[in-house]
Amino acid sequence: MTTRTQSRWSSIAAALPLLIATPLTADDDHRGDDRHEEVKANLSGYQEVPTLSSGGSASFHARIADDNQSFDWVLTYSGLTSVTQAHIHFAARAISGPIVIFLCTNLGNATAGTTSGTQACPVSAGTVTGTAVPSDVGGGAAGLGIPAGDFAKMLDAIRNHAAYANVHTTARPAGEIRGQIRDADHHHH
């Protein structure tokens, strides 16, 4: 009994310096002037509303331009069947929100006048990339305060963790995997 307790405490004691040191080093490493602002999301069924179990997973990464007028993005996913579309939505964690930026679609329904979202989505696994610009911000969240074309307000939402990436499938038309977009430099959940 004592050995188990002692080993548990020594494990915790051994991990403490790492827990304390990690945030400090993470901050120091990424403060160069030449570093672009990056955001990311890890997508799973567990973040969907309602929560669901899916064999699919994805990662979304974006690099925001220094002038705040665009961001380059990459969406990579696998383990899905019959992907229909993927977007960035406006909503906090655990809340469903409207589509604001299309990433890809197989439904021919991308916001008129946009470019980045009109490409086809790989059906089960693959990578899509693009550059989102003000004209890619659709009017889906206009009633919630982000008018079509208002890139600054969408960036503000992303920076405040009020946007998520979502991949939709035929079986789960409301979304099969999703992930809240957050600062890529910090590793909090």
Write the pLDDT tens digit of every residue in 53-81.
Answer: 999 999 999 999 999 999 999 999 999 99
Q: For residue 23, what are its two tokens?
A: 């945030």
Whether residue 111 has pLDDT greater than 80:
no
Domains of the chain: 37-183 (2.60.40)
Q: How far is CA 110 from the centre of its chain?
A: 19
Whether residue 6 has pLDDT greater than 90:
no
Asked if residues 107 and 179 have their Cβ atoms less than 8 Å apart, the reply is no
φ/ψ of residue 104, rounded to 5: -160, 160
Helix (H) or strand (E) holding 167: strand 163-169
Whether residue 29 has pLDDT greater than 50:
no
Per-residue HEC secondary structure of 58-114 comes to: EEEEEEECCCCCCEEEEEEEECCCCEEEEEEEECCCCCCCCEEEEEEECCCCCCCCC
How confident is residue 14, by pLDDT bands cut at 50, 70 and 90? low
**pTM recorded for the entire structure:** 0.79
In terms of pLDDT, which residue wins out, 84 or 8? 84
Q: Considering only CA atoms, which of 127, 16, 146 is closest in space to residue 89? A: 146
| HSE-CB of 61 using CA atoms within 13 angstroms | 10
Starting at the edge strand that comes first in sequence, how are the strands of the sheet with 163-169 ordered? Answer: 99-105, 83-90, 163-169, 177-180
